[in-house]
Amino acid sequence: MPTYDNPVISGFHPDPSVCRVGDDYYLVCSSFEYFPGLPLFHSRDLVHWEQIGNVLDRPEQLPLPLPGSKASGGLYAPTIRHHDGRYWVINTNIDGGGNFVVSAERPEGPWSDPVWLDLHGIDPDLAWEEDGTCWCAFSGPEGGINMARIDPVKGEVLEGPFPTWSGSGLKFPEAPHLYRIGDWWYLLIAEGGTERGHSVSVARGRSPRGPWEGAPSNPLLSHSGSARSIQNTGHADLVQAPDGSWWMVLLGVRPRGFTPDVHVLGRETFLAPVEWDEDGWPVVAPVPERHAAPGGAWHPVPALPDRDDFDEPILGPHWISPFTRPVDSWSLTERPGWLMLRATGDTLDRPGYTFVGRRQQHHDCRVTAVIDPGTGRGGLAVRLDEAHHYELEVGNGEVRVVARIGPLRQTVARRPVPPGPLTLTIAIRTSGLVPASPELTDGGTTGPDTLAFWLSDPDNADAQLLVELDGRYLSTEAACGFTGRVIGMYATEGVVAFDWFEYTPASAPPA
């Protein structure tokens, strides 16, 4: 019997929401301050997911930069649904505009411009009754789950909002999803906060208006207090497969390192089977690292390209940029076969710079790129936010490694380099960690990983190791926030060219 490994979408892909249309599944995730917004995935089996686009990929959909956006701000917790022959996504921009709805005839788009809703809160959901009545459940500003009857086409609030359920008593009841299953309406929520206490709870009632009866076994799912390698499990959505089985997509993290453990990849998308007990309540076992795959046909999809030679006329949908990506800040045609980045800011320490990157999706991996700095300045960077990033930078006749950790910015290595194209590599490993300080010996390492910065490819005989840095300073627990590492190319002076970019996991996944 085929099995699958969790997470099913690795790296910074939090707050998953899923819907099924025939034999096809579609899933969206939060993107926070990054553009394009709301990555959209397709699958035929709930296990193999291919990114087919981004829901918000045009300046007309959201003013750029995201209005007033900051790290871990921007776009929170989307819900995707299919109704009356059309795809719908509802979402919150917490830094400008609030809640809005977009729709499309095809999941690949184009998606409509936003229709804004006068509802104050986060994590909105959409559900329809058989007569077409549309309900929006969301986390209200005063806490607890609110409900409103809306017209998603016109953006009108027709009834409410009114409080409906406050959860089982844990903090921050949020992320509601409403379903009609049999004779009951079920309200699935997250509570306990998005850290180690994160959990999933459920209630049911005969009407979307309530009243609601909480499940006697709430929380339905939580890894809090366990020694499981997957933690922070919550923010879930349910979907039924064609064979009648039920499944849950949810977020979780994979912390590593010395206590209290830290996670660096962000909150990822996991998959768990759902059963139903004799009283009609859903039952979910702890999220497995490996499990029997959903029944039906097996539809593997192509893996994310490990290497981009920049020969296509547009960037792939997995390339993202913080806050904005002005059209004149990058080009794939100015120098065919190269990605040209034009500096829009002189530092990565504050918003407004030019950066094109992709999510780190494996604990052990390597990123290599060929750069021609010309008379400019730029390179590779590993980013969590403006106050937490490492830079491998070329410019003014030298290569430098710069660490920004909170209020500290320091050049930790530098070498002279000749002009012309150079190969840069950042290698990330979880074994043979650098010690937390020179005084510590065996057993004294605390970080989840080590980041090694190389001039040239480490496999080349002439490669130079510049420095190795502790990865815990680029973790969510150190930086705070809701995102994960993004690794990419940047320019902070002039125009910088990149011939190719390669991302390689250090080892293949289990067979």
- DSSP state string for 320-366: BEES---GGGEESTTTTTSEEEE-SSS-TTSS--EEEEEE---SSEE
Instruction: State residue 461's pLDDT score.
Output: 84
Instruction: State residue 62's pLDDT score.
Output: 79
| Residues involved in catalysis | 15, 174
pLDDT band at 458 (very low <50, low <70, confident <90, very high): confident
Residue that the structure tokens 């553009």 belong to:
35
In this predicted structure, the answer to whether residue 66 has a pLDDT above a threshold of 70 is no
The class that CATH gives domain 3-292 is mainly beta
Instruction: State residue 440's pLDDT score.
Output: 54
- DSSP state string for 257-322: SSTT-B-SS-SEEEEEEEEE-TTS-EE-PPPPSEEEPPSS-----PPPPSEE-S-SSS--TT-BEE
In this predicted structure, the answer to whether residue 301 has a pLDDT above a threshold of 60 is no
Domain ranges, ordered by start, for the chain: 3-292, 307-505
What is the helix (H) or strand (E) element at residue 477, kind and residue range?
helix 476-479
What is the helix (H) or strand (E) element at residue 157, kind and residue range?
strand 156-165
Instruction: State residue 511's pLDDT score.
Output: 30
The class that CATH gives domain 307-505 is mainly beta
Q: Give the burial string for 272-281 (b: 16+ CB within 10 Å, else e).
A: bbbeeeeeeb
In this predicted structure, the answer to whether residue 152 has a pLDDT above a threshold of 50 is yes
Mean pLDDT, residues 176-188: 97
In this predicted structure, the answer to whether residue 305 has a pLDDT above a threshold of 80 is no
- Of residues 434 and 198, more confidently modeled: 198
Measured over the CA atoms of residue 311, residue 108, residue 80 and residue 152, the dihedral's sign is positive
Measured over the CA atoms of residue 141, residue 147, residue 151 and residue 153, the dihedral's sign is positive
In this predicted structure, the answer to whether residue 304 has a pLDDT above a threshold of 70 is no
Could you report the per-residue pLDDT of 199-250, keeping only the tens digit for each?
999 999 999 999 999 999 999 999 999 999 999 999 999 999 999 999 999 9
Instruction: State residue 292's pLDDT score.
Output: 87
Instruction: State residue 260's pLDDT score.
Output: 87
Instruction: State residue 269's pLDDT score.
Output: 98
Instruction: State residue 508's pLDDT score.
Output: 38
In this predicted structure, the answer to whether residue 441 has a pLDDT above a threshold of 60 is no
pLDDT averaged over every residue in the chain: 93
User: CA 422, 428, 432, 437: dihedral to nearest 10 degrees?
Assistant: 90
pLDDT band at 69 (very low <50, low <70, confident <90, very high): confident
